[in-house]
Chains A and B, each alone.
Chain A
Amino acid sequence: MGSITLEHVNKSFGEVEIIPDISLDIEDGEFVVFVGPSGCGKSTLLRLIAGLEDTTSGKILLDGQDVTDAPPARRGLAMVFQSYALYPHMSVRDNIAFPLKMAKMPQAEIDKKVDYAARTLNLGSYLDRRPRALSGGQRQRVAIGRAIVREPKAFLFDEPLSNLDAALRVNMRLEITELHQQLKTTMIYVTHDQVEAMTMADRIVVLNAGNVEQFGSPLDLYKKPANRFVAGFIGSPKMNFVDGPEAAKHNAHSIGVRPEHFKLSTTEGAWKGTVGVAEQLGSDTFLHVQTDGLGLMTIRTDGDQTFSHGDVVYLTPDPTRIYKFDAAGKAL
């Protein structure tokens, strides 16, 4: 059981309003990811849910119960911090056992749960080490272990993988997703890495300057972005935007085309341009094309096509996949 509801939550630090007004409904067992640019209030929102910050106004409900004024310990949530926040003077075993010990659980039961967590997370051989003697990935697993033994109503993750190297990040991403499949507990996961957001989430909350821009499944966000901000934020490389007369042809203030939705030709097409940088990734090639009058565009083609600097190319956007936005940036 772990549904989380935010009702008109507002948070200000002194004079500065960080979160103007957020209402969200997170269902039991859901994996929800908060994404957004740096400083948009993701961590603040997570900490509000955790109880580490007080709301300025609004309500937070857990399983329908108002916990707005409950201290963190009383909410039954577990949090995994970006810097792991392990207790350095305790062994891995004691770290994982700590929340259980605080809950005054009998020792035999604690041992059982710690062993179970250690097995789930492959921590068996490190149990008697201090956190200092572990690698970043292992520390992260201990932090997760400490979170799961309590069987919380929901897990809160604040950029848990951002201190890890790329390969390990991919691994841990899979492990956390796997864990969610196993436990089926609600998880809220903060990240600014949109690959993590797209691959892990059941639903994504896109935040911008403390406002929810869109809340929906990853594919929804990709296919039907509610506004220009979401369209630009979700998808990599970024969507290309065109304003002015070219957009007016489509009866919009601006239009957007994703890099993967172009037809590329060397002889004919809608927009003419010259290739600038070509980034070859092997599987794909990202072309940065300077178009005549429409600015720089990023095009994604398959890796077999080779272009070099200065080549003239013609771009034709897929007409069924042109996103249109009005003057306020809302999708049409």
Chain B
Amino acid sequence: MATKQTRALARTMMAPAVIVLFIWMIVPLVMTLWFSFQNYSLINPMMTGFAGWANYVYVIGDPSFTQSLINTLLLVGGVLLITVIGGTFLALLLDQPIWGQGILRIIVISPFFVMPPVAALIWKNGFMHPGYGMLGHLWKFFGLQPVDWFNQYPLFSVIVIVAWQWLPFATLILLTALQSLSEEQREASEMDGANAVNRFRYIILPHMARAITIVILIQTIFLLGIFAEIRVTTGGGPGYASTNIAFLVFRTGILSNDIGAGSAGGVVAVIIANVVAIFLMRAVGKNLDA
């Protein structure tokens, strides 16, 4: 237990770090807020001054915003679905005693170490390219017309790439949780007559609930801001078919050179992230206490 002195000391020692972090965070946020209420377009430098809600109306009113919002939710939801289910499955497999377990685990984890743009490029050129990608060859081998993934299924393709990157993370966390299940509990359930399916449903899954919650929360935070994969592969297109909110901010602010509207989009993105976070904490956060 901390005494009064140690607490005061701890506070003093921590203050510089906290202050720097606070400034680091608050300055860009305030600047973004400030810009979002200004007329500030690089294409039209003569128009300056206070803009009121015009930037917000412009961003939210545009049909691209609704589509981006839906894309964001689909992207986050899709990746979560694939990684949680796939991760659970992989964790169950990796938990079996097999020869070469150590190496196998490292191989499974390795996609996580590949930088997002690199991963996206590997998928773009190595797998999904209709002309020389592996999948194209596979389709051709079966006498089928190769799929032009990024044009025909742009959002789905991005989801696959991002899921591939995050699957190791989910697997790793879930595997750790699985390994912490006591052997005696497993044996007790076996004695109690539970078959493999029931054992999974009544013993293993509840045991992993907390880890799954953590995977969902952490991944959501990162998945809301997916950018590099979209930039490298589809560029948000065709049209706005694979543009999420983060990429919309980039398109408005940087590609269209409208700093004011881009900032407004950024503020909206922050609000959406918070709404999603609160919603998630409500939905699954109760697994964390207890």
Contact = CB atoms under 8 A, between A and B. Distances in A.
A249 to B, nearest CB: 53
Interface string B185-226: 101111111110010001100110100000000000000000
Contacts of A98: 189, 192, 194, 202
A73 B185 contact: no
Nearest to B188: A85
A78 B185 CA distance: 13
Given A83-B184, A85-B184, A73 B195 contact: yes
B191 A102 contact: no
Interface string A196-239: 00000000000000000000000000000000000000000000
Contact of A52 (B190, B193, B207): B190
Secondary structure dominating the interface of A: loop
Interface string B137-148: 000000000000
B190 A85 contact: no
A87 B190 contact: no
Interface string A116-135: 00000000000000000000
In this complex, the interface size class of chain A, counting residues with CB under 8 Å from chain B, is: 20 to 34
Secondary structure dominating the interface of B: helix
Interface string B169-194: 00000000000001011011111111
A73 B194 contact: yes
Contact of B192 (A71, A82, A102): A102
Interface in A84-104: 85-90, 98-99, 102-103
A108 B187 CA distance: 27
Nearest to A156: B191
B206 A89 contact: yes
A72 B185 contact: no
A87 B194 CA distance: 13
Interface of A: 50, 52, 71-73, 77-79, 81-83, 85-90, 98-99, 102-103, 146, 150
The 7 closest A-B pairs by CB, nearest first: A85-B184, A85-B188, A99-B192, A89-B206, A73-B193, A102-B193, A81-B184
10 contacts: A82-B184, A83-B182, A85-B184, A85-B185, A87-B188, A90-B202, A90-B206, A146-B192, A150-B192, A150-B193
Given A52-B187, A85-B188, A87-B202, 4 more contacts: A50-B191, A73-B195, A85-B187, A146-B188
